[in-house]
């Protein structure tokens, strides 16, 4: 039995959307989540800075005896995952936008993606779209300016959020998209707000379930699953201002930690 924790990190609370569902899938596992909100958002930082911050987070999770690392941040995955895997011996799993399934499913041959600037500019994003782009499928990209900060702060009204989202979504809707990819883990917290704006014929791609199934498979293949019967713990550490509890389950342990 391997009761060492699974480690996750993000620039803030976005990756907790992955953690919540992973906890449901693996209730006996222990989890440590690092919210690097001192440096949030990652979306406007240089690639070098993103790699440095991601490395720092991974080193802290390894120090905390984690058995597997999850880069629960699209920006960090698309900009740093290759460097992290070169430097880290334990399994490391990243979060990538669900472009591949969107390309497979689209009937209108138009796909929308809402993501951070650095995710859309990354080499991994370019390679993913290039490898899967069929000549007559168009990918319409939109940077979600300020959305990460809005979600982190949790202060904006639903009416104000709807106005901002319409500015981002309407141009893609007008391009006749039938699938929308959320290319940032933070955006899963406003998925219901997004769906209220989207016409019925447009589906949002689920990027969390496939990643969590992959995590489960890696643990199984490495014989690292926690086979105990006790319910596992979840510890969340932040290094900036106190996290908004709006999106954090009451049973999770929340503490400040310098990292």
Q: Which active-site residues does the annotation give? A: 73, 184
User: What is each CA distance from 39 to 50, 69, 217, 241, 253, in whole angstroms?
Assistant: 10, 19, 32, 11, 21
Cα separation of 179 and 111, whole Å?
Answer: 5
Cα separation of 144 and 150, whole Å?
Answer: 10
Closest by Cα among 91, 64, 58 to 76: 58
Q: Which residues pair with 94 in a beta bridge?
A: 71
Cα separation of 118 and 32, whole Å?
Answer: 26
Which regions of 122-258 does DSSP assign to beta strands (E)? 138-143, 179-183, 203-204, 234-238, 253-256
Distance from CA of residue 164 to its chain's centroid? Answer: 21
Do 37 and 152 contact (CB within 8 A), yes or no? yes
Do 66 and 7 contact (CB within 8 A), yes or no? yes
Do 172 and 142 contact (CB within 8 A), yes or no? yes
User: What is each CA distance from 71 to 87, 224, 250, in whole angstroms?
Assistant: 14, 18, 23
């Amino acid at each position: 039995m391997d009761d060492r924790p699974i480690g996750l990190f993000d620039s803030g609370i976005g990756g907790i959307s992955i953690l919540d569902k992973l906890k449901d899938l693996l209730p006996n596992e222990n989890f440590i989540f690092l919210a690097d909100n001192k440096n949030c958002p990652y979306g406007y930082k240089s690639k070098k800075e993103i790699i440095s911050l991601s490395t720092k987070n991974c080193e802290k999770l390894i120090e905390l005896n984690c058995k597997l690392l999850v880069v629960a941040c699209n920006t960090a995955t698309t900009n740093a995952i290759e460097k992290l895997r070169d430097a880290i011996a334990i399994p490391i799993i990243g979060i990538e936008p669900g472009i591949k399934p969107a390309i497979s499913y689209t009937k209108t041959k138009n796909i929308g993606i809402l993501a951070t600037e650095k995710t859309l500019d990354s080499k991994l994003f370019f390679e993913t779209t290039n490898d899967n782009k069929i000549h007559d499928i168009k990918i319409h990209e939109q940077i979600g300016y300020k959305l990460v900060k809005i979600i982190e702060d949790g202060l904006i009204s639903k009416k104000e959020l709807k106005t901002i989202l319409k500015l981002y979504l309407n141009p893609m809707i007008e391009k006749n998209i039938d699938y929308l990819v959320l290319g940032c883990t933070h955006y899963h917290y406003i998925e219901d707000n997004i769906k209220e704006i989207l016409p019925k014929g447009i589906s949002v791609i689920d990027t969390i379930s496939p990643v969590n199934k992959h995590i489960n498979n890696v643990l199984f293949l490495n014989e690292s699953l926690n086979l105990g019967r006790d319910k596992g713990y979840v510890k969340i550490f932040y290094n900036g201002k106190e996290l908004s509890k709006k999106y954090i389950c009451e049973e999770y342990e929340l503490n400040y930690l310098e990292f």
